[in-house]
Amino acid sequence: MNEITVNGVTLHHGGYVLALLNITVNGVTIDGVRIVQETGRRAYIQPPLLVTTYTDGKTLIRSFPVRWEKEQHKEIQTACMAAYRIAKAVKL
């Protein structure tokens, strides 16, 4: 079993991103985990975004390359979704 703590939830309004979360998994803190929900789909978690801006002004945005084991991913998603539902209910 993994030790998962949700340290903070920021609700996001508009677009597919519902919230940004700061979490700690087995002592490693990850800032900017996203809860995303596309039209007609169930909400799910995504790793933070990496934004790189080059000297020519072009910007590259991609997901941080996180590799979670299947069971670990389920536990993280469960904790994040529970924290999101609580934050939404009390509108933090």
Please write the tens of the pLDDT for every residue from 32-81: 999 999 999 999 999 998 889 999 999 998 888 888 889 999 999 999 99
Which residue in this structure is represented by tokens 């169930």?
42
Give me the architecture of the 4-90 domain, per CATH.
2-Layer Sandwich (3.30)
Q: Who's near 10: CB < 8 A, 6+ residues apart?
A: 19, 20, 21, 92
The yes-or-no verdict on residue 13 having pLDDT over 90 is no
Stretch 20-36: mean pLDDT, rounded? 95
Q: Please, which contacts does 13-17 make with residues 24 or more away whose CB atoms are closer than 8 Å?
A: none
pLDDT at 92: 52
Domain boundaries, the chain: 4-90
Quote the pTM value: 0.84
Please write the tens of the pLDDT for every residue from 39-49: 999 999 999 98
